Structure 1
């Protein structure tokens, strides 16, 4: 077996163990919370004290079986792709998740595109500039990183939806509905990525290759975009994958 194959199998084995551990903790959490699973499912329902309802739920979810048997059934269903049925919405969990995959992917991709655009423009245009310019950009980014996204979202809704009426408040009404949620996600994460990218650019601009490029008459913006950016992208790509 080659070294690469062993490394891939090692990573896959680790992933399987993580998924098994997460599934096991999820199963145990329902049984370790105060009270019993039936009371947890019923919540504050007025029928909580009904013996008939409690017996029906116990039978439906197999809670009258031994705990280990419940655990094996739970793992078997997960391996078969059965995520169970939502007690509140009375639908299969896989269907509920599937209905949200498209909008979630659209929002995530749009936000990530804005993150990359913001980080590249901010870092490339401010790296290597005067201290006042870099300080102002870093201060604004630090403020954006420190701003809670839910609060930023409320501010954007108040200004652009309620007052200016440029974007819808809620719903899925085309690309207009994506703008405010995507910007809300992109501002703090884009600021974080911009700081990492600017630091990499600052270091790259002091490397010998930068001096050689300057001696050949390359302008500051071309030096950053065509040469220094390649060296600065390594930590930014790592952070971008996490984002």
Structure 2
């Protein structure tokens, strides 16, 4: 398992992070790096960069369950690069506790809007309160979306996350990413992982952050990666994978 060295960075508390960079409305840019490339990135960051620290820990396990319709509406929206699309998932903070139901929508100019509420992980249907939240958020976003009653768990992901706060962005570094089909979705491959690769995500305003520019100078460009759609395409070879085909062949093939 890849272990990123961030001991030299000053800590930032969760409360401080949320005050300074909650960024529920933002532009996300993802990069898939080798462990060595990720280490070089961390070493080159602005000296003022801080790392999220909770109870002495700096890297935390996340578990997400993604919901979709039987005909995979949200997957196909991503596969076809629809500008107006959505995603529904639950996210559990395994180490620190707490689960949230999250609705992510894509607004104008590639801006991601994330809204969430406390919830429990889903094994089958959403309960009445969760369903109402999803329907309300999708209606507020003015999306032509199916009712929440059509959504079922399809895929689970799990990874270890380190969160950095730079002077102009929130940056996450995810290691040990694994995908698992929810039982009931038959396929020859039930699980997959990205090995020692590191998924780096910058979360900033519409303008690229200093971290994005640092990555660009090193020859990296944003990768098309969705922890849901890419993972499902890896596990379901019958599904279209055009947006992520190059990434799969060049970085995820191993």
Higher strand share: 2
- The alignment's TM-score, normalised by the length of structure 2, stands at 0.22
Higher radius of gyration, 1 or 2: 1
- The alignment's TM-score, normalised by the length of structure 1, stands at 0.23
